[in-house]
Chain A
Amino acid sequence: MAAISDPTRCAIIGRLARGPARISDVGASFTMSLTGVCKHVKVLEASGLVQRTRRGRENTLELTAEPLREVARWIFKYERFWNARLDRLEEFFATKQGKP
């Protein structure tokens, strides 16, 4: 979670969600230096969210979706659970109200 708590890292994930990209292309969309972007990429790599592939001088970044998907599942668990209970309660009384 610490890896995605930073807005720059969130933006990098957003960019990579559209597909793999060269690190220079990812860096081009930020006002900070490429070195600064690389530091954030390293944090994402360390967390397992991003994978880097080296081909010669070119570095391509790719999103490893599973850890992120796992986080999203966890966060929503209880909210989904209680909202489903309230939906059911609302539906129950709405149906009852509709009856003559």
Chain B
Amino acid sequence: MDLTDIVVARAIPAPPENVFDVWIDPTSPGGPWFGAERTILNPVVDGLFYFAVKHEGRTWPHYGRFLRVDRPRCLEYTWVSEATKGVESVVAVTFEPRGDQTEVTLRHSGVPDDDMGRQHKDGRTWVLSMLAERSPK
């Protein structure tokens, strides 16, 4: 099976410690786990998580294990779901200080399907979605 990486980044107006703490707090409205149908989170090395999100009328469970917990610099955890086709992908999040902000960079590695990944990387996704939208339904 071919695999690919997805990278997204954002400047967050807060120091790395605060951003890191919100990221691992499932009760914080700013955190990535918030609003899920069910979240069980143990953010320590070898700690596990269960994260069930409702999307398009059904529940999508995700499972993982924390590989690295280095406050406030980085977090790394495995990520397994139906969308990864059972493959243990890895999510790595870094929190770098940039003045009074934090540069958050998230790399999701080992996401299945290389072809789709390449399309994503070379920027043609926008063209594809535009074509799809403009095409007759």
Residues of A within 8 A of B (CB): 1-2, 4-5, 10, 13-14, 16-19, 63, 65, 68-69, 71-72, 74-79, 82-83, 85-94, 96-97
Contacts and interface: CB of A to CB of B under 8 A. Distances in A.
A86 B106 contact: yes
Given A4-B128, A76-B129, A92 B104 contact: no
B128 A75 contact: yes
B28 interface: yes
Contacts of B132: 65, 68-69, 71-72
A78 B108 contact: yes
B115 to A, nearest CB: 4
A65 B128 contact: no
Q: Is the interface of B mostly helix, strand, loop or mixed?
A: mixed
Contacts of B137: 65
B36 to A, nearest CB: 11
Contacts of A93: 12-14, 18-19, 22, 30
A88 B34 contact: yes
Contacts, number: 108
A85 B135 CA distance: 30
Interface size class of B (residues with CB under 8 A): 35 or more
Contacts of B120: 75, 79
14 contacts: A5-B118, A10-B127, A17-B131, A17-B134, A19-B136, A68-B131, A69-B135, A71-B116, A82-B108, A85-B106, A86-B106, A87-B10, A88-B31, A89-B19
Interface in B82-135: 83, 104, 106, 108, 111, 113, 115-116, 118-120, 124-125, 127-129, 131-132, 134-135
Given A83-B8, A88-B34, 14 more contacts: A10-B124, A10-B127, A16-B135, A68-B131, A68-B132, A72-B131, A74-B113, A76-B129, A86-B8, A86-B10, A86-B104, A88-B29, A88-B30, A89-B32
